[in-house]
């Protein structure tokens, strides 16, 4: 694809997302320039996406923080932070970028592309944040609202899926916070059994609190089995309405 063809297709891409009438196309173009591209083409460092990424990162965190604050009115700061961390993680933002096809327009050096740069989570995530920064700046009257709408309209299902799986976000830490709040006591993890060969073992762990077995978990390592047990304990606690985030 030649540069001119790419620009035409990129404009069409922006049009499908509702940004064809934005005030400054050059910012959307800058949002796609990886540092390897600016270096290869002897462009000033400020022509890469890094400054827009810095801005987009801040706007994204504010948008997500506001969304979580309003939706989970009874949740504590720790839970909200974990959810936000999962939503703004590189792996999540890389998926967002690929979902809308943003990865097809990132400019990078020949060597970076040859090494699979268009598939690297870090590059995709940074480009996505830079794209948000461009939205914020080019929509001068309502930039924040446009970013907010863009996130909700395109990634609502993915965000809700993360919310549903909150107990899988470091369940050991969540369970520990829960038990410490009750009586400053930590849950206890006990090895119940180990089956299989030495190199392919399955561990079964029980998690206890105040001498009571809360749940069991399994895994190919003690650590994984403990996480599974904690996750199962959280599900039971929540189902019995003992849990308040």
What residues pair up with 215 in beta bridges, in sequence order? 207
What is the domain-level CATH number for residue 30?
1.10.1520.10
Decide if 201 contacts 209 (C-beta within 8 A): no
Judge if 36 and 18 occupy the same domain. Answer: yes
Question: How many domains does the structure of the chain reveal?
Answer: 2
Q: What is residue 167's predicted lDDT score, i.e. its pLDDT?
A: 60
In the residue annotation, 7 being an active-site residue is answered as no
Decide if 38 contacts 107 (C-beta within 8 A): no
Please tell me which residue in 86, 129, 148, 228 is annotated as part of the active site. 129
- Domain presence at residue 244: no
Residue 155 has pLDDT above 50, yes or no: yes
Decide if 187 contacts 207 (C-beta within 8 A): yes
Q: In this structure, what DSSP letter does residue 199 have?
A: S
Please tell me which residue in 29, 53, 57, 148 is annotated as part of the active site. 57
Q: What is residue 171's predicted lDDT score, i.e. its pLDDT?
A: 86
Q: What is residue 168's predicted lDDT score, i.e. its pLDDT?
A: 66
In the residue annotation, 129 being an active-site residue is answered as yes
- Domain presence at residue 245: no
The 10 Å CB-count burial string (b at 16+, else e) for 55-88 is: bbbebbeebbbebbeeeeeebeeebbebbbebbb
Express each pLDDT in 86-101 by its tens digit.
Answer: 999 999 999 999 999 9
Judge if 208 and 157 occupy the same domain. Answer: no
Judge if 21 and 108 occupy the same domain. Answer: yes
Express each pLDDT in 166-178 by its tens digit.
Answer: 766 778 888 888 8
- Domain presence at residue 109: yes
Judge if 55 and 107 occupy the same domain. Answer: yes
What is the domain-level CATH number for residue 206?
3.30.160.20
What residues pair up with 194 in beta bridges, in sequence order? 203
Q: Which domain holds residue 194?
A: 171-239
> What's the whole-model pTM score?
0.73
């Amino acid at each position: 694809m030649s540069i001119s063809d790419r620009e035409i297709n990129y404009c069409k891409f922006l049009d499908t997302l509702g940004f064809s009438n934005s005030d400054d196309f050059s910012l959307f173009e800058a949002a796609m320039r990886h540092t390897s591209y600016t270096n290869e083409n002897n462009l000033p460092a400020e022509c890469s996406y890094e400054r827009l990424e810095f801005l987009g990162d801040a706007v994204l965190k504010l948008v997500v923080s506001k969304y979580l604050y309003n939706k989970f009115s009874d949740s504590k700061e720790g839970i909200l932070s974990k959810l936000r961390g999962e939503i703004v993680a590189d792996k999540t933002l890389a998926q967002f970028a690929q979902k809308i096809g943003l990865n097809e327009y990132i400019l990078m050096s020949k060597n970076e592309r040859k090494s699979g740069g268009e598939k690297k989570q870090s590059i995709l995530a940074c480009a996505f944040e830079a794209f948000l920064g461009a939205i914020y700046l080019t929509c001068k009257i309502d930039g924040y609202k446009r970013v907010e709408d863009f996130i909700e309209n395109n990634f609502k299902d993915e965000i809700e899926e993360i919310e549903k799986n909150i107990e899988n976000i470091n369940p050991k830490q969540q369970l520990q916070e829960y038990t410490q709040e009750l009586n400053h006591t930590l849950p206890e993890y006990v090895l119940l059994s180990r089956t299989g060969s030495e190199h392919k073992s399955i561990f079964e762990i029980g998690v206890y609190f105040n001498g009571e077995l809360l749940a069991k978990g399994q895994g190919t390592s003690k650590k994984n089995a403990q996480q599974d047990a904690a996750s199962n304990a959280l599900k039971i606690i929540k189902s019995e309405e003992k849990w308040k985030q």
